[in-house]
Amino acid sequence: MSQQSDKTRPLARGTQDDIAQLERAFSLQNWRYIDIDRQERLAGILDRWPLLAELADPTSSGEQ
């Protein structure tokens, strides 16, 4: 059985739980959390995979 190192293990689930706990603890309503790290990772992926970036672009009609 293989184990992922802490550096490669996805943190999204734990982060979501942490944010939910903060919202409950401080009665945060209408509070929008922006996961900047996730946005940066996604931008990096789209830079490395141009076809994926083209498919993900909602303004792209697919025709040139």
**How far is Cα 53 from Cα 5, in angstroms, rounded to an integer?**
28
Cβ atoms 39, 45 nearer than 8 A? no
Provide the pLDDT confidence category of residue 12 given band limits of 50, 70 and 90.
low
Instruction: State the average pLDDT over residues 23-34.
Output: 87
- Return the domain boundaries, the chain: 12-56
Tokens of 23: 């919202």
Rounded-to-integer distance, Cα 34 and Cα 12, Å: 12
Give residue 33's Cα distance to chain centre. Answer: 11
pLDDT greater than 50 at residue 1: no
**C-alpha count within 13 angstroms, C-beta hemisphere, residue 7:** 0
